Chains A and B, each alone.
Chain A
Amino acid sequence: MNVHRPAPQPEADSAFQPARPEAVAIEVKDLVKRFSPEGSAALNGISTWMKPGGITGLVGPDGAGKTTLMRTLAGLLAPTSGTVRILGQDPLPDGPLREQIGYMPQKFGLYEDLSVQENLDLYADLRGVVGEARRESFERMLAFTDLARFTDRMAGKLSGGMKQKLGLACSLLGAPKVLLLDEPGVGVDPISRRDLWRMVRDLARSGMTIIWSTAYLDEAELCDEVRLMNEGRILAAGTPAELMGAMLGRSLHLTNLAAPRRDVLQRALRAPEVMDGVIQGDNVRLVVRTAGQWPDLEPLQAGPEAALVEVAPRLEDAFISLLGGGPGGDSPLAVVTHAVILPGHTNQDAAIEARNLTKRFGDFIATDAVSFRVAKGEVFGLLGPNGAGKSTTFKMECGLLKPTSGQALVMGIDLKQSPSEARQRLGYMAQKFSLYTQLTAQQNLEFFSGIYGLQGEAQRLKMEGMIQAFDLGPWLSQRTLDLPLGFKQRLALACSIMHEPQILFLDEPTSGVDPITRREFWTHINALAQKGVTIMVTTHFMDEAEYCDRIGLVFRGKLIALGTPDQLKRDSITPDCPHPTMEDAFIHLIQAYQAERTEVAS
C-alpha cells in the first residue's frame, strides 16, 4: 500500500507523492502564485504531476487554490514562481498548445444569448475546427451530449445540466489532449452529474487527460487519482483507494440507537478515541484515531441495543484526518441559549407549516402545491438541484416572498396576514452570509441585534454571550471582509440568532466551506435543535441531508418525497442497488417520479 501523508514542511510535497511515471501529461514544480506582493499565496509551493489518460481530481474547499491552479494550467494566469509544463510546453504564451487544451470555467463560459448551435459554431471557429472535421465533431458532440433536439434553443434557456453538457461540448471541440474542468458538478442535479461522469469516463478511456476540480469529497472518490488541497497546498496525492486505505478500520457506525442521535453524537465526540463524528440518517458515524481502539459504549448512553459496526472509510475521513481531526461536539451556544417554549396554543407538531404553497412567476411555476409540517425542535432539510424551487419555497416560508396561493405558517401565524409578528420569531441566515462586509464584527453584531429590537443592557449582555460562545473576541475590531471564512460563518450565525428566534432558516449555510468548519457549524445547529429551536435548511450536499431529521426532495417545483433520510434510502432499494446512498436515493426518487408522470400522461 502506498499512502502519502503531509510532511511538516510543505516544500517536501513531492516526497510523499507516488512514484512519478515515465511519461506525464502535466508537470508542476514549486508553483507559487500570489495576487499581490504582500498578500498571502493562493498557491504555496505546489509540486505534482498528472499522468496521461484518466481523471485526476483536485479536491478541496473554497480558497484551497483549485481554481487558481486550474487557471494556471490553462495559461490564464502567470506563475509568481515555479514552472508549469503541459505536454512538455509552457501554457502561458500564445501558441499551438492552446488547441491541445480544453478548458471549462466554473460558469461554463457559454453565451446565454446565443443558441446551442451558435455557441458551438463560435468555439469551433475559435479552435480552428473547419470543414468535414467540423460537421463530424458537431454530430458526435450533439449525440454525445444528447443536445441534438435543442440546437436552436438559447443557451440561457437550458437547464443547469444541459448548460454543463454544452459547456463540455464547447471545450471538447478540436479534440484537445488535456481537458480542464473547474467544478463542473456545482449546483447541477445528481442525474446530470452522473451523466457528465459517464461522458468524462468515456473521454478518459479514449486517452484524454482530464483534471476535474471539486469541493465534493464523495465525487472525488470516483476519480482515478486525487490531489487533496487545502490553503494553497497539496495535502496528499494518490488514488482514492490508497488514501482511504489508510483509514481502514477507523470508520464506524453506531447503530440501533434508543437515545436522540444528536445527544449520542455529542457524547461520542467527547470520547478521546474519537477523531470525528457526524449524524448519518438513523446512525451516528464515527472515525477513531487509531484502528482497533474503539470508544467505550457505556458513557455514550445510546441505548441497550446500540452497537458499533465497522464501515468502509470515505475520502472525507482521510481529509479530516489529514487536517488533524474534527472539532468537538459541544457547542458553547448551549450555555447561552434558553430552551424554546412555544406559546401554549401552538401545535407542537407544526412549528413551520406549508399548505399547498404555490408560487408562479408569469407562466413558470417555481413552487407547485407544496405541503409539509415541521415539528418543534426538528431539523428539516429541503434538498434539490439549483432551480428546482427549494429557495422559492424557503423564501415564502420565512416571509420574504408572497405565495401566489396556499399558505405559509409559522407557529400557526400566517405570514401573509401578520408578517412582522411572525418575523420577530424567525432567524434567517442567507446564502453567502449577507453580513455588512465593510463593518467590523462588533458593528455587525450591534446592527443586527438593534434591528431585532435589542437595546441597552439586554443588547450588551446578548452580544457578550455571542462573543463568548463563538470566540469572536480577538476579531471584534476587524473588518468583516477580512475575517477568515470560518469566523464569517460564526458571525453570520451569531447575528441571526441574537434575538433568540424560535425558528431558524438557513439557506445553503455551508456551501464552499471546508469540512471542519462545516462540522463546527452543525455542532452549533445541533445544540440549537436540542434547545428546541426548529430549523429549516436548504442544501445540495447529499451527506449534509443526512444530518437532518427529515428531508423534503424538491424537483421541478414539486415536493416529490418526504421522510427521514433512512426512510428515503430504504424506499430506493432495488436489486441493482441494495445499499443506496443518499444520492442514489435522490436519483431513484426522481426517476420514479418521472416514470409515474409519463405513465399518467400516456
Chain B
Amino acid sequence: MRAVNLRRLKALCRKEAYQIVRDPSSILVAFVLPVVLLFVMGYAINLDSSHLPLGLLMEDHGPAAVQFEQALKASGSFTVETGVPREQLIQQMTRGNLRGVVVVRSDFGAALAEGHGGAAIQVLTDGSEPNTASFVGSYVETIWETWQQQRGQNQARMDTLPIDLRPRAWFNPSTLSRNFLVPGSIAVVMTVIGVLLTSLVVAREWERGTMEALLATPVTKAELLLSKVLPYYLLGILAMVLCLVVAVLIMQVPFRGSLGALFVLSSLFLGCALGMGLFLSTVMRNQFNAASAALVAGFLPAMMLSGFVFEITTMPLALRLLTRLIPARYFTSSLQTLFQVGTPVSFLAGNALGMLLLTTFWMGLTTLKTSRTLEAK
C-alpha cells in the first residue's frame, strides 16, 4: 500500500481546514492574538525610560546650582521634585515613589568657581531595581556633562573635556526599543500559533473518539501526520504575513531583509513549532494537558530564553547552552536581523541550520510516537 494517497490526504486536509475556519478559537489564536500581542509588546513594553521621578536636594542656591537644576528639569528624562527637606526625600525613596535623589552640596557654587574639578553632585539611586538605577545614574551623568560643556562654551572658556564623544547606533539609529522588540514578539506570536494550536489538534481527535474511527479506515500514518502539518503550516504563514504587515505598515518598524529569506526562515521555524506541538498532542492525547505543556515548553522559553527580553550573552553558560535547543532563539535572532540589518546570508544560515536540526528532531519524534493502533508507542 502506498504511504500517501493524494485523495485521502486531500480529504483529511479539507476536513482540517473546515475545523480551523469553524472554530472561533483557532481564528482568534491565529489572527487576533498576533495583532494584540504585537501592539502590547511594541507599545506597552518600553525599555526607553522617560519622566522618571527624581528628587533634588538643593543645599546651594547660587546661580550655578540653579542653572544645573534647570538643566535637569529640561532634559525630559526626569520629573524633578525639589524644595523638600532631606528626610522627606529619603522617605519617598523608601516608598519607591522616587527612583533617585540628586544632592547639590552647599559648596557647589564655590567649588565650581575655583575650577579645578572639585565641584561634585551626589547621585543616590534605588538599587532594588538595578536596571532603572543604572538608567538614572547614566542619565544624570550625561546631563551633568552636557551642562558642563554648555557652561564652558557660554563662558567661552575651553576647559571642557578633552574627548568629544559622539555616539552613533548602528542598525537602529534612533535606538527605538520597539524596532527590536517587535521582531522578537513576532517570534513569540509564531511560537504560540505553531505550538499551541497544534498541541490541541491530535488530542482533540483522541478525546472526541474520531481518531478511533479514522484509524479503522485505510488511512496511513504519513497521511495522518501530513494532514495535521500542512493546514497549520499554511495558517502559520498567513499569520506571519499578517504580523509583517502590522509591524511595517502600522507600527512603522523598518524591514531591511529579503522576503525570500523571511519565508525560508519562517518555514523552518514553523517546522520546529508544529513538530513540537504535534508531539505533545500525540503523547498526551488530552487537550488540557497538551495545551499546558505547550505553554511551558513553547511559550515560556520563547519569552525568556530567546534573547527577546533577556540578552543571551549575559546568561550563565548552562542557560546559554539551553537556549540552543529553543527554536525561538534562532528565529528571534533571524527576525531581528532581517528587520534591522538586512540579509547577511552567512549569519542567517547558522540560524537556519539550528532550526533545521530541531525540525528534524521534533518531526522525527512525532513520527516515532504516532501509532497506527490505539496503543501508545
Contacts and interface: CB of A to CB of B under 8 A. Distances in A.
Nearest to B218: A98
B213 A103 contact: yes
B19 A75 contact: no
A109 interface: yes
B208 interface: yes
B14 to A, nearest CB: 8
Nearest to A109: B213
Nearest to B372: A94
Contact of B10 (A111, A125, A128): A125
Contacts of B210: 107, 109-111
Contact of B374 (A77, A106, A112, A130): A77
A118 interface: yes
Interface in B1-48: 1, 7-8, 10-12, 14-15, 18-19, 22-23
B242 interface: no
Contacts of B214: 109, 126
B141 interface: no
Contacts of B15: 111, 114, 118, 122
Nearest to B211: A109
Nearest to B3: A94
Interface string B187-224: 00000000000000000000011101111111110000
B19 A111 contact: yes
Contacts of B11: 121-122, 125-126
Contacts of A107: 208-210
B373 interface: yes
A113 B22 contact: yes
Contacts of A170: 213
A109 B209 contact: yes
B18 A98 contact: no
A125 B15 CA distance: 11
Interface in A108-161: 108-114, 118, 121-123, 125-128, 130
B375 A78 contact: yes
Q: Kindly state the interface size class of chain B when it binds its partner.
A: 20 to 34
Nearest to B374: A76
Nearest to B7: A125
A330 interface: no
A111 B211 CA distance: 10
B255 to A, nearest CB: 37
B373 A75 contact: yes
Nearest to B205: A111
A92 interface: yes
Interface string B210-246: 1011111111100000000000000000000000000
B219 A126 contact: yes
- With most chain B CB atoms within 10 A of its CB, the pick from A110, A114, A123, A125 is A125
B19 A113 contact: yes
Q: Kindly state the interface size class of chain A when it binds its partner.
A: 35 or more
A98 B209 CA distance: 18
A71 interface: yes
A98 B10 contact: no
Contact of A98 (B22, B217, B374): B217
A99 B214 CA distance: 12
Contact of B8 (A71, A106, A125): A125
A101 interface: yes
Contacts of A110: 210, 213
A382 B245 CA distance: 59
A75 B373 CA distance: 7
Contacts of A75: 216, 373
Contacts of A123: 213, 217
A74 interface: yes
Contacts of B215: 76
A112 to B, nearest CB: 7
B124 to A, nearest CB: 55
B1 A78 contact: no
A57 interface: no
Nearest to A170: B213
A118 B15 CA distance: 8
A95 to B, nearest CB: 6
Contacts of B14: 122
Contacts of A128: 7-8, 218
Nearest to A130: B7
A118 B212 contact: no
Interface string A43-71: 00000000000000000000000000001
B217 A105 contact: no
Given A111-B19, A112-B208, A130-B7, A98 B216 contact: yes
- With most chain A CB atoms within 10 A of its CB, the pick from B7, B12, B15, B219 is B15
B211 to A, nearest CB: 9
A128 B217 CA distance: 10
12 contacts: A71-B212, A76-B215, A76-B216, A99-B218, A108-B209, A109-B214, A113-B18, A113-B19, A125-B11, A126-B218, A130-B7, A170-B213
Interface of B: 1, 7-8, 10-12, 14-15, 18-19, 22-23, 208-210, 212-220, 372-375
Given A105-B212, A128-B7, A128-B218, 9 more contacts: A35-B375, A105-B213, A107-B208, A109-B209, A111-B19, A114-B19, A126-B11, A126-B12, A126-B219
Q: Closest 9 interchain pairs by CB?
A: A109-B213, A125-B11, A107-B209, A103-B216, A105-B212, A126-B217, A98-B218, A76-B374, A113-B22
